[in-house]
Structure formats: C-alpha cells, structure tokens
C-alpha cells in the first residue's frame, strides 16, 4: 500500500532525476544554436513591454527571459536545474540584461498569488511531469487580467515524433507523469487552463532548422547535448544492440522527416 509519505518521496526522487537530466549535455548551447528565435517569439506574443512584471517558468538559461528583460520588463527566471540558471546569469551579464534567477519547481512556485503581469514558458513547463499541477501554478501567480503565454512542441511535430521514437528505449514513466508533447495539443492546454482564463489565442507555427547536414549529424548532436536524449541512451548503455537500434531509429526519423521544420503550439490567454 502506497502512503502519502511514499508519494512525497517518490515525487522528490522524480524531480531530482529531472534536475539531473537537464544538467546533462549542453542544453544552453542547443537553445542558442537551434531554437534561439523561440524566446523572442513568445515575448512578442505576450505583448511584454517596459515595466511589466514577468515570470519565466522552466526558463532554462533564459531563452525567453533575457529578451524580455532587454525589452525593459522586470523579469524573474525560474528553473528546477541550477546549472542552467548559472549559465543564464553569465549570458545575461554578457548581454547587459538585468533580471532575477530563482531555483524553483514549476509545480510548486515560491511566489505569491497574482504576483506577475505575465507568466510564460518556452518549451519548458511542458516537461513538468504533472501537467495540471504546473498549469494551476501558472495561473495562480498571474494577476487577474494578466497574460499566460506558452510555447510547446506539438505531438505531431518533429520533436514530438523524436520523443515517440525514444519512448520504447526510455525507462517507464512513474504513475501520474504525463508526456511532455501533450502541452502541444490545443485541447489539452485548454482543459488544463479551464475557465480560469479568457481570450485564449492559439496558433501552430514552425521553426526553420538548417543546422544539420545529415540525419546522423542531427542524431549525434542531440546525443551529445540534449538531456532527455542523453538520459535515454544512458538507460540502455549496457545493451549495445538497443543502443544501435536507437541510433538507427533516430537517424531514420530525420531521414524520413527532414529536420528542417519543427512545429510548436503558441498559446496566450488572459487570467480571468
């Protein structure tokens, strides 16, 4: 029989694994080299301007937080992984951006109700394992009339298919954990936010990616830099046949679905 204490301990262990996973490889390099334009895209969609109080949830190294700060907003960048925040501090300093960096769990944000004018997340909160808990926190810390903005990879897009490709090789998700690309489903996000928001605007867009000359180059780049991919390979490291099979499947994904258009869902809404 699972007790409440067991559940709390299991959740702590899960969060510790997530924290460690995102410290693997070099996600800040990937964010800068491949998806840099997504942060400014979300900032524009949220209509962030000078003086706005902004919280970037699961901010990583500041792909969206830093552009918001450079535009004059008062920004707090929060993330579960301190290594990403430390890189963000260095990047922000180099660019002359002033903002706060806070280690925080997206499912238990250490901020007051209604503390921010804009609460946003750029391919970040989608990786919190308990989607409703994370969505509840996004809404809670946004002031009435404020903006919630989300940019997430879709299940049908290239990154969503990459996660589907890795799933048979990855350890089973613990009970209650939900797959990240669900945040790229309009129906799922609307259900998470519910009637606590109004004026919901949703669109699917694509990120043009010209970084990889071959399918193998894409695979090896993610094997070296992307925490979820590195973690999946580590789980099968003692089985050379499965490693070879995953190598093949990721390259075939890129061969079958050219690594040039990565679809994402962009959602903005007003806190009711």
CA distance 229 to 251: 13
Is the torsion defined by CA of 80, 82, 87, 91 positive or negative? positive
pLDDT confidence of residue 10: 78
* pLDDT class of 204 with cuts at 50, 70, 90: very high
Mean pLDDT of 157-186: 96
For 224-270, the pLDDT digits (tens) are 999 999 999 999 999 999 999 999 999 999 998 777 899 999 999 99
Q: Domain residues of the chain, as ranges?
A: 4-155+172-208+261-271
Tokens of 262: 């990565």
CA distance 44 to 120: 11
* pLDDT class of 4 with cuts at 50, 70, 90: low
Give me the DSSP letters along the chain.
---HHHHHHHHHHHHHHHHHHHHSTTHHHHHHHTSTTHHHHHHHHTT--TT-EEEEET-TTTTTHHHHHHTT-EEEEEES-HHHHHHHHHHHHHHT---EEEE-BTTB--S-TT-EEEEEEESSGGGSS-HHHHHHHHHHTEEEEEEEEEEEE-SSSHHHHHHHHHGGGSPPPPTT---GGGGG-HHHHHHHHGGGEEEEEEEEEEEE----SSHHHHHHHHHHH-HHHHHHHHHTTT-HHHHHHHHHHHHHHHHHS-TTEEEEEEEEEEE-
pLDDT confidence of residue 9: 82
For 77-99, the pLDDT digits (tens) are 999 999 999 999 999 999 999 99
Q: Which residues of 77-113 are buried (b: 16+ CB within 10 A; e: fewer)?
A: bbbbbebbbebbbebbeeeebebebeebbbbebebee
pTM value surpassing 0.85 = yes
For 113-135, the pLDDT digits (tens) are 999 999 999 999 999 999 999 99
Q: Which residues of 132-142 are buried (b: 16+ CB within 10 A; e: fewer)?
A: ebbbbbbbbbb
User: Percent of the chain having pLDDT more than 90?
Assistant: 92
User: Percent of the chain having pLDDT more than 70?
Assistant: 97
CA distance 58 to 78: 6
- Residue 177: Cβ within 10 Å count: 15
CATH for 4-155+172-208+261-271 (3.40.390.10, 3.40.50.150, 3.30.230.10, 3.30.420.40): 3.40.50.150
Taking a C-beta distance cutoff of 8 angstroms, is the pair 184, 121 a contact?
no
Taking a C-beta distance cutoff of 8 angstroms, is the pair 65, 75 a contact?
yes
């Amino acid at each position: 029989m699972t007790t409440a204490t067991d559940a709390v301990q299991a959740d702590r262990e899960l969060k510790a694994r997530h924290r460690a996973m995102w410290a693997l490889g070099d996600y800040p390099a990937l964010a800068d080299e491949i998806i840099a334009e997504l942060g400014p895209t979300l900032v524009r969609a949220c209509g962030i301007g000078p003086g706005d109080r902004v919280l970037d949830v699961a901010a990583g190294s500041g792909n969206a937080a830093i552009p918001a700060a450079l535009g004059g907003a008062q920004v707090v960048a929060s993330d579960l992984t301190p290594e990403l925040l430390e890189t963000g501090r260095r990047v922000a300093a180099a660019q002359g951006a002033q903002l706060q960096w806070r280690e925080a769990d997206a499912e238990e944000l250490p901020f007051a109700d209604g503390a921010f004018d804009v609460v946003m997340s750029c391919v970040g909160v989608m990786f919190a394992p308990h989607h409703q808990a994370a969505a509840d926190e996004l809404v809670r810390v946004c002031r009435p009339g404020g903006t919630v903005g989300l940019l997430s990879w879709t299940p049908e897009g290239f990154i969503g298919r990459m996660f589907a490709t890795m799933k048979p090789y990855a350890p089973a998700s613990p009970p209650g954990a939900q797959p990240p690309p669900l945040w790229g489903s309009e129906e799922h996000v609307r259900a998470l936010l519910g009637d606590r928001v109004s004026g919901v605007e949703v669109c699917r867009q694509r990120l043009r990616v010209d970084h990889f000359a071959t399918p193998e180059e894409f695979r090896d780049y993610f094997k070296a830099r992307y925490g979820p991919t590195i973690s999946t390979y580590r789980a099968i490291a003692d089985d050379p046949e499965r490693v070879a099979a995953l190598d093949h499947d990721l390259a075939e994904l890129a061969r079958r679905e050219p690594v040039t258009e990565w679809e994402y869902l962009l959602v903005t809404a007003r806190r009711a």
